[in-house]
């Protein structure tokens, strides 16, 4: 703020000279003055605030405004809105509070002394403070169950799970304390209902056992990916419906997406070995997305290669200079580590995590694009929020024992690529509120059926007129696809949407009842003894060997005497790996590694890490490790996207999929049956070859579906057609469907 003392002098004099004709004029004068001052004080930030209260909270932190003064401002604004709605009659007292709030705001933001004449006019400011009972206790977090909403008293009757024998009162709509979460309170009433599991954050407790939380986290065991939250923060608007729309939009294999994947690959490799050259790495780049490169022409491939070269040199320079200057060195860094937090109901995977083991930590988030409409620190809104949420995440995991420095690395820009992301508690609170709104949309999706449209009717061009940029293109695509469906197809679309959402919800937090499976939440809700009794954990594993391949890291473990020999794990399972630091610890208490189980026998267990790790000392230094089953959200997200693709398919294809028409008549062919088939297999083989649109091959185990029929069908198409073939299979004993592209090298005359 330029010349703050002069600004203060002019504004103070304006208040002194102000002679309102009535109280209404005085109230408007104060409200407009306060708003203008906070706008002026934060205009250089270029941050997107979802409402004015979050802007005031940010300014309060930035200018270190005394809390009691900030309360008077918040309270005046709340009462002013009530006065506008005709709900408040004490106009004269409110006018006095308005003058006081305006005066204090000027003084605190400009750090100027209030003139004596004005100081005497506002009098004792403490008369505008609440008379809330004195705080006698404080909790960082409490997991509670809301039982009843007493709207008139603005409180919930609830049970704290730490002391279930005693009911508590949870106060909401507390000025400058938790009234920012009033939209969440409304969602509890309208969407979630009671009883409801909620986490309360930063709770002040008085002698009557009233809880005054700072924040509410709805369904804390439903871990929402941080990227999903941050993408709702655009430069012009914060809207959870962005998340809802994106669920249905298929990912396109664009050049920018490919370059982004290449940049991440370069970061991984250069972090391990900054001396690598572009010539050495470009050879392996084309393996990252072979199918995408195959669909490009030569000029497009050259364009991607040129972009990749630019990112390579920028990243190499940043690693050697900018990261090194911040003491972020390869030997202290982990690549793409994952963290879960049921405190805030979030999960995330960092691009780069520095942890030297001595409390020195840092977060580095890589972005391959340029910042769009950046804030004062040169950061895009969504990127900034993403980093703030990562900050919350790691502090939750390490119980606030770490205080990371946070950065965003823009590999496309020419200079000042590493940019500091300062922590803003106001924006973190705003992000948690946005998370609750997303969970409300997810909850509404579970209730969809053939007759219920909400919440999909919330995303349409008519209801999203404020949206801008690329998201409007996606909105038009979604609207065009859904609008093209006939009544039966529309019911099919909605029915399947509800089914997918319910399955996803169950997979995340499970069902109720004494025998209800808690889904992914079992990782932290079930005690170790129950996991052992139910054969759901491979514990006390000891590292045998770490195998560093060109593209992957494999870790082999010995089973120990304390490893349950009957644990129910099979090759192909998706699992999480984390240190065994005691049976009272879970994945919530430490960094973990997502991986796949690639081999298992009665002596050893081998996993493949999803992200190649160059720093492996953690595996060697810690004596024992645990493996537990994990969940891929992507398997559910793909199904939503397939529904939109269904709506975009041709009418004849949709009719076929819905069984409204039979498959096209077969084409009679002279088919020579391979040797070694039975007469029945020969007939089935001929029918499969003659089928034009689809053929379902089914049979009990051991009848030759794979070893005879599938093998020979692939061979036939390889020898007698130019068809492209995609084989989908489920690995033996695996629970998760994998897709593998099988390439036919015709020029070599063989299958690979």
Cβ within 8 Å of residue 118, ≥6 positions away: 12, 15, 16, 103
CATH number at residue 153: 2.40.50
Query: What residues form DSSP beta bridges with 510?
Result: none
Nearest to 412 by CA among 382, 372, 381: 372
Say if residue 100 is in the same domain as residue 8: yes
Say if residue 152 is in the same domain as residue 64: no
Say if residue 87 is in the same domain as residue 17: yes
* Residue 602 domain flag: yes
Query: Tell me, what's the pLDDT at 3?
Result: 80
Domain boundary among 186, 203, 218: 218
Low-confidence ranges of the chain (pLDDT < 50): 513-515, 731-752
Domain boundary among 176, 203, 218: 218
Say if residue 162 is in the same domain as residue 201: yes
* Residue 640 domain flag: no
- DSSP, collapsed to helix, strand or coil, labels residue 598 as strand
Say if residue 119 is in the same domain as residue 148: no
Say if residue 84 is in the same domain as residue 156: no
Domain boundary among 167, 191, 218: 218
Query: Tell me, what's the pLDDT at 743?
Result: 39
Instruction: Please give the DSSP secondary-structure letter assigned to residue 342.
Output: T
Query: Tell me, what's the pLDDT at 720?
Result: 85
| Domain count for the chain | 5
* Residue 738 domain flag: yes
Query: Tell me, what's the pLDDT at 367?
Result: 96
Return d(Cα 686, Cα 435) in angstroms, integer.
55
Residues 551 and 575 sit within 8 Å (Cβ to Cβ): no
Q: Residues 171, 173, 176, CA angle at the centre, nearest 5°? A: 105
Residues 373 and 235 sit within 8 Å (Cβ to Cβ): yes
| Paired tokens of 276 | 């690598």
Say if residue 581 is in the same domain as residue 471: no
H or E element: which one contains 5? helix 4-17
Residue-wise pLDDT tens digits, 220-278: 999 999 999 999 999 889 999 999 999 999 987 788 888 999 999 999 989 888 889 99
* Residue 502 domain flag: yes
Say if residue 46 is in the same domain as residue 122: yes
Concatenating the DSSP letter of every residue in 641-680 gives HHHHHHHHS-HHHHHHHTTSSPPPPP-----PPPTT--HH
* Residue 256 domain flag: no
Say if residue 504 is in the same domain as residue 534: no
CATH number at residue 540: 2.40.30.270
Residues 69 and 104 sit within 8 Å (Cβ to Cβ): yes
Query: Tell me, what's the pLDDT at 742?
Result: 38
Concatenating the DSSP letter of every residue in 7-39 gives HHHHHHHHHHH---SSHHHHHHHHHHHHHHHHH
Helices (H) and strands (E) in the chain, counts: 25, 24
Query: Tell me, what's the pLDDT at 535?
Result: 94
Query: Tell me, what's the pLDDT at 514?
Result: 46
Query: Tell me, what's the pLDDT at 636?
Result: 92
Query: Tell me, what's the pLDDT at 513?
Result: 47
Say if residue 19 is in the same domain as residue 117: yes
Say if residue 141 is in the same domain as residue 124: no
* Residue 534 domain flag: yes
Query: Tell me, what's the pLDDT at 730?
Result: 52
* Residue 719 domain flag: yes
- DSSP, collapsed to helix, strand or coil, labels residue 355 as strand
Q: Look up the domain containing 123 and give its range.
A: 4-128
Say if residue 496 is in the same domain as residue 568: no
* Residue 351 domain flag: no
């Amino acid at each position: 703020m330029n010349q703050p003392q002069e600004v203060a002098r002019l504004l103070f004099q304006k208040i002194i000279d102000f002679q309102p004709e009535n109280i209404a004029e005085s109230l408007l004068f104060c409200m407009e003055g306060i708003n203008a001052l906070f706008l002026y004080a934060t205009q250089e930030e270029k941050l997107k605030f979802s409402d004015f209260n979050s802007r005031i909270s940010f300014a309060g932190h930035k200018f270190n405004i005394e809390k009691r003064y900030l309360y008077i401002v918040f309270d005046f604004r709340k009462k002013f809105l009530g006065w506008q709605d005709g709900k408040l009659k004490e106009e004269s007292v409110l006018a006095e509070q308005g003058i006081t709030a305006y005066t204090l705001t000027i003084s605190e933001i400009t750090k100027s002394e209030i003139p004596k004449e004005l100081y005497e006019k506002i009098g004792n400011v403490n008369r505008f403070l609440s008379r809330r009972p004195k705080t006698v206790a404080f909790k960082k977090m409490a997991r509670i169950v809301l039982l009843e909403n007493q709207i008139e008293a603005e409180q919930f009757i609830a049970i704290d799970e730490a002391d279930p024998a005693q009911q508590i009162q949870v106060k909401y709509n507390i000025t400058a304390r938790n009234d920012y979460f009033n939209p969440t309170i409304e969602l509890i009433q309208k969407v979630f209902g009671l009883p409801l599991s909620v986490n309360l954050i930063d709770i002040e407790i008085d002698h009557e056992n009233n809880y005054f939380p700072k924040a509410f986290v709805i369904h804390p065991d439903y871990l929402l990916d941080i990227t999903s939250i941050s993408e709702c923060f655009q430069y012009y608007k914060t809207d959870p419906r962005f998340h809802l729309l994106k669920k249905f939009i298929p990912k396109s294999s664009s050049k920018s997406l490919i370059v982004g994947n290449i940049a991440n690959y370069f970061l991984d490799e250069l972090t391990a070995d900054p001396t690598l050259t572009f010539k050495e790495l470009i050879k392996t780049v084309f393996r990252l997305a072979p199918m995408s490169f195959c669909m490009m022409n030569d000029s497009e491939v050259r364009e991607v290669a040129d972009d990749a070269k630019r990112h390579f040199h920028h990243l190499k320079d940043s690693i050697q200079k900018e990261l090194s200057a911040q003491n972020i060195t390869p030997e202290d860094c982990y690549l793409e580590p994952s963290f879960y937090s049921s405190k805030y109901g979030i999960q995330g995977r960092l691009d780069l995590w520095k942890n030297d083991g001595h409390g020195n930590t840092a977060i580095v988030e890589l972005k391959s694009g340029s910042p769009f409409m950046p804030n004062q620190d040169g950061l895009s809104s969504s990127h900034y929020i993403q980093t703030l949420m990562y900050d919350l995440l790691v502090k939750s995991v390490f119980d606030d024992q770490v205080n990371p420095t946070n950065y965003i690395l823009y590999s496309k820009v020419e200079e000042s690529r590493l940019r500091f992301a300062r922590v803003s508690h106001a924006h973190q609170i705003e992000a948690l509120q946005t998370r609750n709104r997303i969970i409300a949309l997810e909850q509404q999706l579970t209730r969809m059926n053939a007759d219920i449209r909400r919440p999909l009717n919330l995303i349409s061009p008519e209801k999203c007129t404020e949206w801008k940029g690329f998201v409007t293109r996606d909105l038009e695509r979604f609207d065009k696809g859904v609008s093209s469906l006939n009544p039966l197809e529309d019911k099919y679309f909605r029915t399947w949407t509800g089914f997918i959402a319910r399955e996803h919800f169950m997979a995340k937090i499970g069902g109720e009842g004494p025998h209800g499976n808690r889904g992914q939440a079992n990782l932290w809700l079930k005690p170790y003894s129950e996991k052992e009794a139910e054969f759901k954990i491979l514990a006390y594993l000891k590292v045998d060997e770490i195998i560093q391949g060109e593209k992957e890291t494999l870790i082999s473990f010995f089973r120990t005497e304390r490893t349950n020999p009957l644990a129910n794990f099979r090759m192909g399972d998706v699992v999480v790996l984390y240190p065994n630091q005691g049976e009272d610890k879970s994945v919530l208490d430490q960094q973990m590694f997502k991986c796949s189980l690639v081999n298992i026998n009665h002596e050893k267990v081998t996993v493949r890490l999803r992200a190649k790790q160059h720093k492996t000392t953690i595996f060697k230094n810690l004596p024992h490790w645990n493996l537990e089953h994990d969940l891929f959200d992507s398997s559910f997200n793909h199904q939503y996207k397939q529904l939109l693709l269904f709506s975009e398919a041709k009418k004849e294809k949709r009719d076929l999929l819905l069984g409204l028409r039979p498959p096209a008549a077969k084409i009679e062919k002279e088919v020579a049956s391979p040797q070694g088939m039975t007469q029945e297999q020969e007939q089935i083989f001929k029918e499969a070859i003659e089928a034009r649109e689809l053929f379902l091959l089914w049979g009990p185990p051991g009848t030759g579906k794979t070893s005879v029929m599938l093998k020979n069908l692939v061979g036939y198409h390889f020898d007698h057609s130019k068809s492209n073939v995609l084989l989908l299979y489920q690995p033996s004993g695996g629970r998760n469907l994998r897709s593998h592209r099988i390439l036919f090298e015709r020029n070599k005359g063989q299958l690979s």
